[in-house]
Amino acid sequence: MSPCDVEALKKCLEETKGDYVKCQSHIEAFRSSCSLKKSDSSPQSAQKV
C-alpha cells in the first residue's frame, strides 16, 4: 500500500457518487498517511494509537 493512496479514496467517492460520509475511513487513512509524508509536526495525527 502506497502512502497517500488517493486511488482508493477516489474509487470510493465514485462508487458512492461523492458521499464522503460513506468514505470517511478512506479519508481518514488518506489524511493520516499523507500528513506523515508532508509534515510530521502535527502530534495529534502522529500520536494516534
| Joined grid coordinates for residue 23 | 468514505
Distance CA 41, CA 26 (A): 22
- Give the highest mean pLDDT range of 13-17, 26-30, 32-36: 13-17
Residues 6 or more apart whose Cβ sits within 8 Å of residue 15? none
Per residue in 29-48, pLDDT (tens digit) is 888 888 765 444 445 544 44
Between 9 and 5, the more confident residue is 9
Distance of CA 40 to the CA centre of its chain: 15
Chain-centre distance for alpha carbon 32: 6
